[in-house]
Amino acid sequence: MQQYIIRRLLQSIPILIGISFISFLIVIFAPGDPLASLYPPYILKSIDKDMVRQQLGLDQPIPVQYMNMMGKLLTGSLTSFTERRAVLEMLLEKLPATLTLAGLSLLISLLVAIPIAIFSATHRESRVDAIIDVTSLFGISMPSFLIALILLLFLSEKWHLLPSSGLRPLGSDTYNLKEMIPYLVMPVAVLSTSMLPGLMRYARAGMIEVMREDYIRTARAKGAGERRVVYLHALKNAMLPVAAEVGLLIPWLLGGTAITETIFGIPGLGRMAVKAAMTRDYPVVLTINLYVAALTILCGILTDIAYSILDPRIRQG
């Protein structure tokens, strides 16, 4: 296992280099000028654009720009065009909000999806199973932004039950979970609803497949009760597809919550990525892309480790 992890980490280096270069080319050749976001039009006409480009390092050839940005990124000194602060500092500042939102959403999704999937798999072709199946398909088809807008319309605008935006009360400078709960209800509900159908279907499929195995029939033949068969013998192996799905969801949650964070005004990484893309803030876009890519590779390795723990027959050399 140790050799496998080291090999995967070494293989990830050229992958990350390739992703960084492609991301850099995309942001460089994308339409728009960073200077237009830094200065209002009436100031932009009167400033020395060449001097500003030189200050930002945009006057260099593209390979030199790429090497300079990557060198600064690796040393933590890469600076945002718009904020004029270290991108790493900005990322660490936004990370707690996204971690809180993502962690709660994933936890709630798992706590709801797994029991429903177990019930559905053990009551196949029943009326309740059909309702669960149709509901999950409806949930997969429902866009997250539409769910967010519906919740905002009723819970905030019409009924005034929950705040419509933000992550904590005005004037608060700490991440106090008790104060944050009213602000988290709708965003967590949106993300949980987006993840729940997929997790539920993976868990249900895994449970149905495992319940057909010979060792399950053997356990029943030995007189084991149905509850013992399901929770002691079947559940662990049925979680293999769920582990794979969670491994894919974690990078998406920490880097792809842009829609939810933007709609609800949450100061997290997703909203920061949207703002950086709109303002052509190349250093921020490049850093977040690499962060999500590295996280995806890491989650892939952790998923393989989880597989080997859940199923001892799986071993990486």
Each domain of the chain, given as residue ranges in start order, spans: 92-270
What's residue 256's pLDDT? 65
Q: Where are the alpha helices (DSSP H) in the chain?
A: 2-29, 34-38, 41-44, 49-56, 62-75, 87-122, 127-141, 144-151, 177-211, 214-221, 226-228, 235-238, 240-255, 258-263, 269-278, 282-310
Residue 33: CB atoms within 10 A of its CB come to 12
**pLDDT above 90: residue 8:** no
Q: How far apart are CA 117 and CA 110, in angstroms?
A: 10
Residues 218-235: pLDDT tens digits?
A: 988 888 888 899 998 888
- 30 in helix, strand or coil? coil
| 3-state SS track over 120-154 | HHHCCCCHHHHHHHHHHHHHHHCCHHHHHHHHHHH
Pull the structure tokens for residue 32. Answer: 């728009």
Contact 206, 241 (CB under 8 A): yes
- For 92-270, CATH number? 1.10.3720.10
**pLDDT above 60: residue 272:** yes
Q: How far apart are CA 108 and CA 195, in angstroms?
A: 10
Task: With CA atoms as reference, report the closest residue to 21 among 52, 65, 57.
Answer: 65
**pLDDT above 70: residue 312:** no
- When pLDDT is averaged across residues 80-94 and rounded to a whole number, the result is 92
- 47 in helix, strand or coil? coil
